[in-house]
């Protein structure tokens, strides 16, 4: 007997079974409930390895959406354009920030949203179809970047140390150390001469101080002489009116000749007893000063080293050692 199979019924059963299985899969994928979502854009600036389409979008650890697409931004290849679908009931505000969070040791990542304390909704930037959630590199990315920077810095330091410790520089340092050792030995060998040089310098300084004191004394004597000359000039100036008055007295009357003569005699006596001796003493002091300066000049011309080593010692007497 031929079996009578209704292929139409079989086909209808297969279609219904497929639709039932598809609905069951959709129900399992959506958690058994249908929610309204809203699209958002995220522009990542670092590596998004581990993030896949349909990866979870978390809001403080709670799943609130899925990753819809991941692609390179055609306007700026340095950015990764991530489109996410988030539950419309989730408060995405203008202070919300997106980060990538690794999911344990699986190598997968999820988008984690942080913030939302503000009451201002996230606006849609001009030229964008959907609101853009600002992106912030994750802590692991920052640590990885810091490690890379530290490795680059260490490599540069290593190169500079290698350049500093090149054979030529090492040889130069060795030569410098040998030169310092030679200089130290030379200073130690000539220590007596160096001490003598410092002693001579101290003696020279003492001689210069003595000469400075003598020069100061000579200047004081010169100032005193100048003051005395000023006094003599003042005295002569005071005598001139007396001499003029005596001359007028002689012209006026002959009987005043005696008084004029007496005044002249008195002026001459004062000139001989006071003025001329002071002028003579001044002349002798000037002559002595000139002799001392001449002798000092002759000694310096004959032996200029006296400025450094002082005057030469007298020759030793009989029985004395030089």
DSSP bridge partners of 111: 57, 100
Q: Residue 70 half-sphere exposure, CB side, CA atoms within 13 Å?
A: 16
Going residue by residue through the chain, which has 322 residues, state the pLDDT in tens, using 9 for 90 and above: 455 556 677 778 788 888 888 877 776 665 555 568 888 888 888 878 778 888 888 888 788 888 888 888 888 888 888 888 888 888 888 888 888 887 777 778 888 888 877 778 888 888 888 888 888 877 666 565 566 666 777 777 877 777 777 788 778 888 888 888 888 888 888 888 888 888 888 888 888 878 878 877 888 887 888 788 777 777 767 766 776 676 566 556 555 556 556 766 676 676 667 666 776 776 677 777 777 777 767 776 666 666 566 666 666 666 655 5
Token digits of residue 16 = 């219904």
Angle between helix 257-270 and 191-252 (nearest 10)? 170
The total of other beta-carbon atoms located within 10 Å of residue 80's CB is 19
Query: Which token pair is 128?
Result: 């964008």
Number of H helices, E strands in the chain: 7, 7
Q: Under a CB-based contact definition with an 8 Å cutoff, are residues 31 and 45 in contact?
A: no
SS3 (DSSP) at 49: coil
The Cα–Cα gap between 215 and 230 comes to 22
In what helix (H) or strand (E) does residue 105 lie, and over which residues does it extend? none
Tokens of 118: 């503000």
Cα–Cα dist 115/159, whole Å: 44
pLDDT tens per residue across span 177-216: 888 888 888 888 888 888 888 888 888 888 887 887 887 7
DSSP class per residue in 9-25: HHHHHHHHHHHHHHHHH
Angle between helices 167-189 and 191-252 (to 10 degrees): 60
If you write DSSP's letter for every residue of 154-196 in order, what string do you get?
Answer: HHHHHHHHHHHT-HHHHHHHHHHHHHHHHHHHHHHHTHHHHHH
Q: What is the pLDDT of residue 1?
A: 46
Place of tokens 């100032």: 223
pLDDT in tens, 54-84: 888 888 878 888 888 888 888 888 888 888 8
Of 43, 34, 36, the residue nearest 131 (C-alpha): 43
87 near 64, Cβ under 8 Å? yes
* Of the candidates 97, 136, 108, the residue with the CA atom closest to the CA atom of residue 52: 108
Residue 233: CA count within 13 A, CB half-sphere: 6
Contact 86, 98 (CB under 8 A): no
Among residues 313, 317, 230, which one has the least CA distance to residue 275? 230
Residue 157 has a pLDDT of 81
pLDDT of residue 75: 86
- Could you tell me the sign of the dihedral formed by the alpha carbons of 128, 131, 132, 134, in that order? positive
DSSP of 254-316, one letter per residue?
GGGHHHHHHHHHHHHHHIIIIIHHHHHHHHHHHHHHHHHHHHHHHHHHH-TTHHHH-SPPPPP
Beta bridge partners of 39: 85
Neighbours of 52 (CB within 10 A): 12
- pLDDT at residue 258, as a whole number: 62
């Amino acid at each position: 007997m031929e079996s009578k199979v209704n292929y139409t019924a079989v086909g209808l059963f297969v279609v219904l079974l497929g639709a039932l299985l598809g609905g069951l899969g959709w129900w399992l994928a959506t958690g058994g409930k249908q929610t309204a979502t809203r699209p958002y854009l995220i522009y990542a600036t670092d590596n998004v390895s581990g993030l896949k389409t349909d990866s979870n979008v978390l809001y403080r650890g709670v799943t609130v959406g899925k990753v819809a697409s991941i692609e390179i931004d055609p306007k700026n290849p340095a950015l990764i354009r991530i489109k996410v679908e988030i539950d419309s009931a989730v408060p995405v505000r203008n202070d919300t920030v997106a980060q990538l969070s690794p999911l344990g040791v699986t190598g997968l990542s999820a988008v984690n949203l942080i913030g939302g304390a503000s009451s201002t909704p996230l606006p849609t930037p001009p030229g964008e179809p959907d609101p853009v959630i600002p992106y912030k590199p994750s802590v692991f990315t920052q640590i990885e970047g810091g490690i890379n920077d530290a490795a680059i810095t260490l490599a540069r330091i290593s190169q500079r140390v290698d350049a500093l410790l090149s054979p030529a520089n090492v040889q130069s340092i060795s030569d410098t150390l040998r030169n310092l050792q030679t200089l130290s030995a030379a200073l130690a060998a000539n220590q007596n001469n160096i001490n003598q040089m410092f002693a001579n310098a101290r003696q020279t300084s003492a001689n210069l101080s003595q000469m400075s004191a003598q020069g100061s004394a000579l200047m004081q004597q010169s100032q005193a002489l100048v003051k005395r000359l000023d006094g003599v000039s003042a005295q002569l100036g005071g005598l001139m009116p007396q001499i003029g008055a005596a001359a007028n007295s002689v012209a006026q009357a002959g009987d005043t000749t005696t008084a004029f003569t007496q005044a002249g005699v008195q002026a001459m006596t004062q000139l001989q007893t006071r003025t001329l001796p002071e002028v003579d003493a001044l002349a002798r002091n000037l002559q002595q000063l000139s002799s001392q300066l001449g002798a000092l000049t002759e000694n310096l011309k004959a032996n200029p080293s006296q400025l450094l080593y002082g005057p030469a010692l007298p020759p030793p007497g009989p029985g004395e050692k030089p």
